[in-house]
Amino acid sequence: MNKVGDALAGGGTTFASDDDPELIRAAVPFSLKLMESLLAESPRHKGLLFATASGFTQYAYAFVQMDADELEDRDLAGATALRERARRLYLRARDYGLRGLEARHRGFRATLQTNAPAAVKLARAPDVPLLYWTAASWGAAIALSKDNPDRVAEIPQMEALMDRAFALEPDWGEGAIHTFLITYEMARQGAAGDPAARARRHFERAVALSGGKQVAPYVAFAEAVCAQTQDLKQFDALLAQALAIDADAFPEHRLVNRVMQRRARWLAAKRDDLFLIPEPSPAP
């Protein structure tokens, strides 16, 4: 059973290089449920716990939350239902991530609830991928639960996980942590300095680490920073850069680049809603 789990946990590259997001939309649920069934037999399998946490997070964003955002203008009730589903999937991902951290460090979850800074000090560099996906799923769930004070109160735990990942290996995943922080710095409470400046530093580092091969940093900065600061010129320029990346030129990033280019096209279509564009002055 553990050998099957090892094989499944290491099989993500096949999905990552696929050129058909809709095929992956249909295939991933079976894969995730299979991993869950294996975890019922081997509940502390570290590879499966990681793969399930990352898999549910990515599926929820690419195929549930993005669907909700695109549906909202046509069907608010349908979009609300999809966001609730995405929230539940993110929390499922978070729980697998926390189980993975508990499997590595006994007592981690209980300590995280009472003393997050002490808990995360237990983590070491090999834990960075699990720290990242646990925090990313948790942050996404919180973002969809702004009307839930108990969920919002969990921000310090989520933040401690991501900040520990950053402290241990800031450049992990070709800039994945930096890309997350582009968005998060715009909402972080109590940090010194200009949030847009902090976000820009993460953006520049993410682009450098990925060699400009990944769409996500451009889309994250356009959506999180340019829309908030009302910088329409840079918003348009960043989305153009994102859409100009040839997803097929980088097979290891093909699927996520196609998904994020879908996000870029949606954002471009929403520009009039996101920006207060002044009406042109009438001709004299």
Task: Give yes or no: residues 106 and 184 share one domain.
Answer: no
The Cα-based distances of 228 to 84, 106, 235, 241, 271 in angstroms read: 25, 41, 10, 19, 12
Angle at 236 between CA 234 and CA 240, to 5 degrees: 115
Q: Count of CB atoms within 10 A of residue 123's CB? A: 21
Q: Quick one: pLDDT at residue 18?
A: 84
Q: How far apart are CA 205 and CA 279, in angstroms?
A: 37
Asked if 263 and 175 sit in the same domain, the reply is: yes
Residue 29: inside a domain: yes
Does 6 reside within a domain? no
Note whether residue 16 is domain-resident: no
> Does 139 fall in a domain?
no
Tokens read off for 16: 């990552």
∠ Cα 185 144 151 (to 5°): 85
Q: What gap in Å lies between CA 122 and CA 106, rounded to an integer?
A: 10
- Contact between 179 and 185 under an 8 Å Cβ cutoff? The reply is no
Q: Do residue 178 and residue 241 come from a single domain? A: yes
Are residues 176 and 119 located together in one domain of the fold? no
Domain boundary among 81, 99, 130: 130
Boundaries of domain holding 123: 22-130
Tokens found for residue 230: 């009302």
Task: Say yes or no: 122 and 201 in one domain.
Answer: no
- Compute φ and ψ for 278, nearest 5 degrees: -65, 145
pLDDT (0 to 100) of residue 7: 43
Q: Does 96 fall in a domain?
A: yes
Is residue 109 domain-shared with residue 31, that is, in the same domain? Answer: yes
Distance of CA 217 to the CA centre of its chain: 11
CATH number of the domain bearing residue 203: 1.25.40.920
pLDDT at position 13: 52
Q: Are residues 177 and 126 in the same domain?
A: no
Which residue, 77, 109, 130, sits at the end of a domain? Answer: 130
Residue 31 shares a structural domain with residue 90: yes
DSSP H helical ranges for the chain: 2-9, 12-16, 21-41, 46-60, 66-71, 76-104, 108-114, 116-120, 128-143, 149-152, 155-168, 172-184, 195-210, 216-221, 227-229, 232-244, 254-269, 271-274
Q: How many domains are contained in the chain?
A: 2
Q: From the CB of residue 4, how many other CB atoms can be counted at a distance below 10 Å?
A: 15
Same domain, 197 and 263: yes
Give residue 276's pLDDT.
Answer: 87
Q: For position 30, what pLDDT does the model report?
A: 94
CA–CA dist 209, 199 (Å, integer) = 15
The pLDDT tens digits of the residues spanning 66-109 come to 999 999 999 999 999 999 999 999 999 999 999 999 999 999 99
d(CA 252, CA 7): 19
Instruction: Flag whether 98 is in a domain.
Output: yes
Domain membership of residue 47 (yes or no) is yes
Tell me the Ramachandran region of residue 175: left when phi exceeds 0, alpha when psi lies from -120 to 50, beta otherwise: left
Pair 27, 126 in one domain: yes
Residue 38 · residue 1 · CB < 8 Å? yes
**Tens digit of each residue's pLDDT, the chain (284 residues):** 444 444 444 545 557 888 888 999 999 999 999 999 999 999 999 999 999 999 999 999 999 999 999 999 999 999 999 999 999 999 999 999 999 999 999 999 999 999 999 999 999 999 999 999 999 999 999 999 989 999 999 999 999 999 999 999 999 999 999 999 999 999 999 888 999 999 999 999 999 999 999 999 999 999 999 999 999 999 999 999 999 999 999 989 999 999 999 999 999 999 999 998 765 545 55
In a domain, 149, yes or no: no
- Give the per-residue pLDDT at 5: 42
Same domain, 42 and 113: yes
Same domain? For 44 and 121 the reply is yes
Q: 130-153: b or e for each residue (b if 16 or more CB lie within 10 Å)?
A: bbbbbbbbbbbbbbbbeeeeebee
